[in-house]
């Protein structure tokens, strides 16, 4: 299974924000520069993360974005479920568009369903805090100042 860029960027935004001091705001350009990715893509991602209540967005001169919840409250499995369009690993997972002639007797779909369940069991075991074990390492990679302690 391959995650979409949308999900990848969503997770990257959350990792970036979790590496910052609590309540410290960032902006989309800052995050785009840190990852060397498109600001336009991140605008859509941050808008949706804001609508989901995962990040807080504040407009204006002193605005920016920050986590709306503590990193330990943000489950990775839940984020992936909310940001991916579908989990149709194979054609038969999509009942509306399934044209596979062996669907009624196929054993592969059951194996793939179990694999997908296992995938989410693993993701559900992790929070954003687990992904940001040492924020100072991330900050140095992002070119952030690490003088002040978190």
Mean pLDDT, each 10-residue run in order, the chain (150 residues): 92 95 89 94 95 92 91 97 88 86 88 93 97 80 60
Kindly report the CA angle at 8 between 140 and 6, in degrees rounded to 5? Answer: 130
What is the pLDDT at residue 150? 42
Q: What is the pTM of this model?
A: 0.85
Tokens of 29: 């350009």
Place of tokens 């909310």: 82
CB 4 within 8 A of CB 85: yes
The confidence score (pLDDT) of residue 97 equals: 87
From 38, 29, 54, select the one nearest 6 (Cα to Cα). Answer: 38
What domains can you pick out in the chain, each with its CATH number? 5-142 (1.10.10.10)
Q: How far apart are the first and last CA of the chain?
A: 36
């Amino acid at each position: 299974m391959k995650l979409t860029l949308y999900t990848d960027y969503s997770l990257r935004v959350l990792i970036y924000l979790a590496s910052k001091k609590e309540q410290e705001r960032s902006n989309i350009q800052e995050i785009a520069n840190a990852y060397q990715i498109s600001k336009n893509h991140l605008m859509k991602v941050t808008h949706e993360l804001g609508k989901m209540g995962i990040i807080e967005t504040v407009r204006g001169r002193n605005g920016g974005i920050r986590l709306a919840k503590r990193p330990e409250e943000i489950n990775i499995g839940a984020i992936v479920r909310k940001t991916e369009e579908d989990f149709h690993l194979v054609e038969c997972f999509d009942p509306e568009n399934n044209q596979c002639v062996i669907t009624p007797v196929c054993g592969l779909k059951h194996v793939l369903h179990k694999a997908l369940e296992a995938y989410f069991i693993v993701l559900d075991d992790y929070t954003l805090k687990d992904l940001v074990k040492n924020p100072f390492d991330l900050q140095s990679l992002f070119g952030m100042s690490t003088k002040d302690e978190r």
